A and B are shown apart, each in its own frame.
Chain A
Amino acid sequence: MNNYFKVLRPGINSTFQDLGRFGLQHLGIVASGCMDQLTFCISNKLVGNKISEGALEFAYQGPLIELMGETVLVAISGKVNFNIIKKNGEIIKGKPNESFLISNGEKIDILSTINSVYGYFSIFGGFKIEEVKGSVSTLVKAKIGPNNGDKLKVGDKFFFNKPHQVDKTNKIQFDFDKDNIIRVMKGLQIHYFSKKSQEDFFSKEYKVTKLTDRMGMRLEGQKIENTVNKNIKSEGITKGSIQVPGDGKPIILLSDHPTIGGYPKIANVITADYDKLVQKTPGTIIKFKLVDLPVAEKAFREYVRKF
């Protein structure tokens, strides 16, 4: 018997992701991968998978899916509002960060993320999805990855590997970082910006705008004045780099960023604060705090303890 989920509503941006596709950025292929690594790994841990197993990432509104097949253990991680719809139509409120069993003909309706952007859906045993160059991450703009490199669509079926036994359910207590302070290190071209603008950037508030997706996050706030050159010779880009184009409005480059770029960069988000950053919804006010490498490395050691 084939075991699969049928997509009745795809959600806004539902894609398969893992920890990323590496070693190809010199050919223009960005790593992509899940936006919030900790929440992603938790969805896998909840069902007993290895933490790097591919999972379904959704943003804001997730999919409505129906199981066609044998009972299976699944989990949804993040701050997510979802329902389980029984065969007789009964609606049960779902609990995120807690694995549960789902049976043939039952539906999962992922209604929305709560004060956050991304959530994850994992299945015990993993999805039957095709690896492309060693990864199941999806890069929609270049059509790279499983599901023909695309977002979920109505009518799509996604199959999963049926494990021999149904594992025990599991619960993980975790919460997102609540504060809105994003720690950054100095960017490569910080000296391109006026002293006042540098001070502004590390002290004033910035607002996350609607122009935010897996590629980048555009911010609104005090304009950053460039006193050297509005362009640089195009150079490789790192996830979390904060570039400032000619209009003075910073853009944080996120997981699906272009591989090279020609705007000067004022700062870089530290690894330990990246998950916190990507979960900030449009309208959220954030502040940047300048730290140095030892602080960032210490923060990273604390961050990995959560996994």
Chain B
Amino acid sequence: MLKKITNIGDCGITCDFGDEVNKSTNKEVIKLFNFIQQSVNTRKLKGILNYTPSYNKLIINFELGQIKSQEIIEFIKSSDYSKINLPENKKIVEIPICYDEEFALDIKRLETKTKLNFKEIVSKHLETNFFVYMIGFVPGQPFLGDLNKSLYHDRLDTPRIKINKGCVGIVEKFCTIYTFESPGGWNIIGRTPFELFNINKKDTSILSPGDTVKFKSISKKEFGSFKNEQLL
């Protein structure tokens, strides 16, 4: 349920769906996101620059010369978007992952914390149908959930300076895939050769908020010979 709408500066608003981070809250966020996106595409709503869903909020940015926050707030409040039948994002994407020890940098740490062995950790990761909560921080980076409870773990105390593109990490109930080389504090359990983001492709980001992700284990040899075109 949409709890409140607040201004952020003079050219943004935030639609707040409450403090809980779970799939049902996030699905509400995505519903409003889809509605806004559709309203922008069909020109029912003008002057919108960006709409950014996260776990429990949707931020909308607009051009102050074109529209005022009050008009957008009224537009949202007057539409019964939760009942509108929008095409749902139901894409299921299979992502190859190699758990070879060269890539599973934090597996020892996880084994100690979870009291599970390597094989058990991998099988719990593989059996999960991950929900795409949001995409962002950097282009195309997905935030997936929920992990099997037994794999919950904190962030590294000292983040790594460099994490390679394609590394798969877990923290708390979430899993992420680094789409660019960057610093980061997540527990790295494997790496994918699959290119999730390519600005030059029509579908810039393979994943969208609301999609489902399933990982598929591949060998180091398959990792080395992987061609992205195979999947697209």
Chains A and B come from one and the same complex:
yes
Whole-angstrom CA separation of A239 from B64 in the bound complex:
13
**Cβ of A23 and Cβ of B40 under 8 Å apart?**
yes
Task: Tell yes or no: A269 within 8 A of B by CB.
Answer: yes
Beta-carbon contacts under 8 Å, B127-164 to A: 134-141, 143
Task: Tell yes or no: A103 within 8 A of B by CB.
Answer: no
- In the assembled complex, which residues on chain A have CB atoms less than 8 Å from the CB atom of B11? 238, 271
Distance in Å from the Cβ of A306 to the closest Cβ of chain B? 13
Task: Tell yes or no: A283 within 8 A of B by CB.
Answer: no
- Proximity bits, B105-145, A CB within 8 Å = 1, else 0: 00000000000000000000000000000111111110100
Q: Given A233-B21, A238-B11, A297-B64, A259 and B180 touching (CB < 8 A)?
A: no
Beta-carbon contacts under 8 Å, A1-27 to B: 20, 22-27
- In the assembled complex, which residues on chain A have CB atoms less than 8 Å from the CB atom of B140? 27-28
Task: Tell yes or no: B6 within 8 A of A by CB.
Answer: yes
Task: Tell yes or no: B101 within 8 A of A by CB.
Answer: no
- In the assembled complex, which residues on chain A have CB atoms less than 8 Å from the CB atom of B52? 25-26, 236-237, 259-260
Closest to A291 in B: B10
Whole-angstrom CA separation of A28 from B199 in the bound complex:
11
Distance in Å from the Cβ of B77 to the closest Cβ of chain A? 17
Task: Tell yes or no: B212 within 8 A of A by CB.
Answer: no
**Cβ of A26 and Cβ of B204 under 8 Å apart?**
no
Distance in Å from the Cβ of B107 to the closest Cβ of chain A? 26
**Cβ of B204 and Cβ of A133 under 8 Å apart?**
yes
- Proximity bits, B191-232, A CB within 8 Å = 1, else 0: 000000101100011001100000000000000000000000
**Cβ of A233 and Cβ of B10 under 8 Å apart?**
no
**Cβ of A259 and Cβ of B136 under 8 Å apart?**
yes
Distance in Å from the Cβ of B155 to the closest Cβ of chain A? 10
Task: Tell yes or no: B33 within 8 A of A by CB.
Answer: yes
Distance in Å from the Cβ of B169 to the closest Cβ of chain A? 15
**Cβ of B180 and Cβ of A142 under 8 Å apart?**
yes
Task: Tell yes or no: A117 within 8 A of B by CB.
Answer: no
Task: Tell yes or no: B50 within 8 A of A by CB.
Answer: yes
Distance in Å from the Cβ of A22 to the closest Cβ of chain B? 5
Distance in Å from the Cβ of A182 to the closest Cβ of chain B? 12
Chain A residues within 8 Å of chain B by Cβ, number: 43
Whole-angstrom CA separation of A144 from B140 in the bound complex:
12
Interface size range of chain B in the complex: 35 or more
**Cβ of A31 and Cβ of B50 under 8 Å apart?**
yes
Distance in Å from the Cβ of B54 to the closest Cβ of chain A? 4
Beta-carbon contacts under 8 Å, A212-246 to B: 233-241
Of the candidates A132, A260, A300, which one forms a contact with B54 in the assembled complex, judged by CB atoms under 8 Å apart?
A: A260
Interface centre among A20, A234, A261 (most CB of B within 10 A): A234
**Cβ of A241 and Cβ of B9 under 8 Å apart?**
yes
**Cβ of A132 and Cβ of B136 under 8 Å apart?**
no
**Cβ of B135 and Cβ of A238 under 8 Å apart?**
no
Task: Tell yes or no: B91 within 8 A of A by CB.
Answer: no
Distance in Å from the Cβ of A30 to the closest Cβ of chain B? 8
- In the assembled complex, which residues on chain A have CB atoms less than 8 Å from the CB atom of B65? 300, 304
- In the assembled complex, which residues on chain A have CB atoms less than 8 Å from the CB atom of B134? 26, 234, 260
- Proximity bits, A264-290, B CB within 8 Å = 1, else 0: 010011110000000000000000000
- Proximity bits, A116-151, B CB within 8 Å = 1, else 0: 000000000000000011000000011110000100
Of the candidates B8, B64, B68, B137, which one forms a contact with A238 in the assembled complex, judged by CB atoms under 8 Å apart?
A: B8
Closest to B10 in A: A296
Whole-angstrom CA separation of A296 from B139 in the bound complex:
31
Q: Given A26-B135, A26-B209, A28-B138, A270 and B54 touching (CB < 8 A)?
A: no
Of the candidates B56, B69, B136, which one forms a contact with A25 in the assembled complex, judged by CB atoms under 8 Å apart?
A: B136
**Cβ of A29 and Cβ of B54 under 8 Å apart?**
no
Q: Given A133-B204, A241-B9, A259-B137, A24 and B50 touching (CB < 8 A)?
A: yes
Task: Tell yes or no: B61 within 8 A of A by CB.
Answer: yes
Closest to B51 in A: A26
**Cβ of B59 and Cβ of A236 under 8 Å apart?**
yes
**Cβ of B7 and Cβ of A29 under 8 Å apart?**
no
Whole-angstrom CA separation of A293 from B59 in the bound complex:
17
Question: What are 17 sample pairs from A and B whose C-beta atoms fall under 8 A apart?
Answer: A25-B136, A142-B139, A149-B199, A185-B10, A187-B8, A235-B54, A236-B52, A236-B57, A236-B136, A238-B12, A260-B137, A268-B8, A268-B9, A269-B9, A271-B10, A297-B68, A300-B10
Chain A residues packing against B (C-beta within 8 Å)? 20, 22-29, 31, 132-133, 141-144, 149, 185, 187-188, 233-241, 258-261, 265, 268-271, 293, 296-297, 300, 304
Which 6 A-B pairs give the minimum distances between C-beta atoms?
Answer: A236-B52, A236-B59, A268-B9, A296-B10, A25-B50, A259-B136
